[in-house]
Amino acid sequence: MRYVMAAVAVALLVTGAFQMSGFHWEGLVALLVGGSLWWASLYLSRAAWQAARDGRPGK
C-alpha cells in the first residue's frame, strides 16, 4: 500500500509542477495532496521498518 501511495504522490507532484507553470489552483492542490501523500508513505515505510527491526508483525 505504501508503494501505491508513493507512486500516486509522485504523479500528483509532477502534475502539480506542470500545472503551476501558469499558477492554476489545481496545480497547487495537486502539490499539496501529493506532498502529503509522499510524507505519509515515508512515515508508513519507517513504521514498517521499525516493526521489522523490533520483531513485531508489520501491517
Give the number of domains in the chain: 1
The beta strands (E) that lie in the chain are given as none
pLDDT of residue 33: 86
Print the domain residue range for 43.
2-54
pLDDT of residue 46: 83
Grid cell digits, residue 22: 501558469
pLDDT of residue 28: 78
For residue range 2-59, list pLDDT tens digits in order.
678 788 888 888 887 777 666 677 777 888 888 888 888 888 888 877 887 888 665 5
**59 in a structural domain:** no
Beta-carbon contacts of 29 under 8 Å, excluding residues fewer than 6 positions away, are 16
Cell 508489520 identifies what position?
58
Q: Of 50, 47, 49, 20, whose CA–CA distance to 35 is shortest?
A: 20
CA distance 46 to 50: 6
pLDDT of residue 58: 52
pLDDT of residue 59: 52
**26 in a structural domain:** yes
